[in-house]
Homo-oligomer: A and B are copies of this chain.
Amino acid sequence: MLNFGLTDLRLVAPRDGWPNADAGPAASGADIVLEQARVFDSVADACSGLGLVFGTTVRGRDLIRRVVTPLQAAAEFHALPAPGGILFGPERTGLETEDLAVAHAILTIPVNPAFGSLNLAQAVLVAAYEWYRQGSDMAAATLVNHDGPAPHEELEGLIGAVDAQLARNGYYNPVPGRAAAARLVMRNLFTRPEYSAGEVRTLRGIIRGLSMPRRPGAPD
């Protein structure tokens, strides 16, 4: 829960009472969730203050209910004016039909039809992840490059050094147009990676290293 920013844990008639000494180590440091947890006698009482409640189940029931994915549930929660809630059942038995009758709709996690055996902790994790992910402003993809790409003239210097060495070594095909095409391919190898100034320096050293005459006595 706390990994994904959720702290409002509501327990209904916990089998082993509450507080429960076993819960501390299992929480791995998320003690604030345990400290703030509230205990209720009934599922209906536990839903007090919630605007939209999803019950979780994997088995089809004889209930007429809207069934939604975690993605959809999270989107609806984010659009709600009041907090929503997700109702999870005991590990072994899941929610009873009487519990599901308290919920407005059903949340079902899409799983491999040939092997669906998410446990309680896994189901909570996935539902909480979707909620947090949809509110997160983390960019889908970013190039983390603290120094930024090298100044462009340094990149040009690298490309020019490669080009000069290749020309010197007779790498380019003399057929008209072929050398220009090969230069374009080579240029793209060096521009796309957004190399930093340090990496451009390393590459220039590598180019020199590749072009050096073989050291006398070096193994084949």
> Which residues of A are at the interface with B, using a C-beta cutoff of 8 A?
2-5, 28-30, 60, 62-72, 105-106, 108-112, 115-119, 122, 125-126, 129, 132-133, 136, 138-147, 194-196, 199
Contact = CB atoms under 8 A, between A and B. Distances in A.
A63 B67 CA distance: 43
A62 B60 CA distance: 49
Chain A interface mostly? loop
Given A5-B112, A112-B5, A141 B72 contact: yes
A110 B126 contact: no
B118 A3 contact: yes
A60 B145 CA distance: 11
A112 B72 contact: no
Contacts of A29: 115, 117
B3 A117 contact: yes
A117 B196 contact: no
A2 B110 contact: no
Contact of A141 (B66, B129, B195): B66
Contacts of A125: 122, 125-126
